[in-house]
Amino acid sequence: MNALFDELSPEAVGLLRKRGRPEWSEPTLATLVHEPFDHPDWLFEPKMDGQRCLIVKHGSRVRILSRNDKPLDDTYPEIREAVAEQLGPDCVLDGEVVAFSGSTTSFARLQPRMQLENTADVRNSEVAVYCYLFDILHVAGHDTTRVPLRERKKLLARTAEFTDPLRWTPYENSSGQRYHRGACAAGWEGTLAKDATAAYHPGRSRSWMKFKCVNDQELVVGGFTDPTGSRPALGALLVGYHEGGRFAYAGKVGTGFEERTLRELRAELDRLERADSPFTEEVAEHGAHWVEPRTVVSIAFTEWTGDGKLRHPTYRGLRRDKDPSDVTREFR
């Protein structure tokens, strides 16, 4: 047995499965809940405001993949190079790529970097990125997904050197409520609670839960309005979400845009224009243009109104790593 497994309990060793390294594994997705809790069998981590990634290393070959299996190798070459240097030849790790604004992670800061793939543009970018690693799915010829999370953390700690831009994800044992209060006071997006006794479950799972300090939501663009006054390109985005076979209208978003963003969005949405509204309900917005609902955006807001619309929404950025058909309403 590989020396990497020496610190595992006998029970955890018995749950290892010898098998070939997968090219892709569906990541665990956390379920949104609203009340932080304390529990001795759970651990608590910061909720990063970045881009989820899966790192696959086979020999000297490194692949960085988004949560929906899109390649990110050319977007984050410094992370790919760090993985090549710091990790063993056979592993699959779960993590999050982030950029910082001050002392907190910022999706808005990461957004310009997420759109880059040209080598020269990436190298010239002033946005420094880091990858926080928090789980391990495969190592040294063994599938680790049945091993409890607390034991997987031991394996992860022995697998990488955690030298920038690769970073260890800190966590707190047991005290989720105190941890969440501190996170919100520090300006974090939120926290995650993870069942330390649980296996790694692909897809949405209640063994991972997320608690947000601020409201944000992925939504799908179904249309836009014409600009008014001196504003260029477009006025507001008309956004919605999928629910019970419906594409529900969530309102319009007209703030949070830079001029360049407005022009880039208009160019993208013009290519998706259609004659009729994609929303299930009637949407009466003056000067509306309808588009195929394929563009996912991140929106910050204060609350949902009684009729199911966003209150005080602000645009945060595009989410290329999210499938439009998976976008549902999280907050109630």
The residues carrying an active-site annotation are 47
Question: What distance in Å separates the CA atoms of residue 163 and residue 252, rounded to the nearest whole number?
Answer: 43
SS3 of residue 23 by DSSP? coil
Q: How far is CA 272 from CA 135, 226, 269, in A?
A: 38, 16, 5
Q: Which two tokens stand for residue 70?
A: 């899109």
Classified as helix, coil or strand, 42 is strand
Three-state secondary-structure class, residue 131: strand
3-class SS of residue 315: strand
Q: Is 299 left (phi over 0), alpha (psi -120 to 50) or beta?
A: beta
Q: What are phi and psi of 123, to 5 degrees?
A: -65, -30
Taking the C-alpha atoms of residue 89 and residue 322, their distance in angstroms, rounded to an integer, is 29
Reduce the DSSP state of residue 274 to 3 states and report it: strand
Number of H helices, E strands in the chain: 7, 22
Residues 6+ apart with CB under 8 A from 194: 42, 43, 44, 45, 149, 171, 207, 208, 209
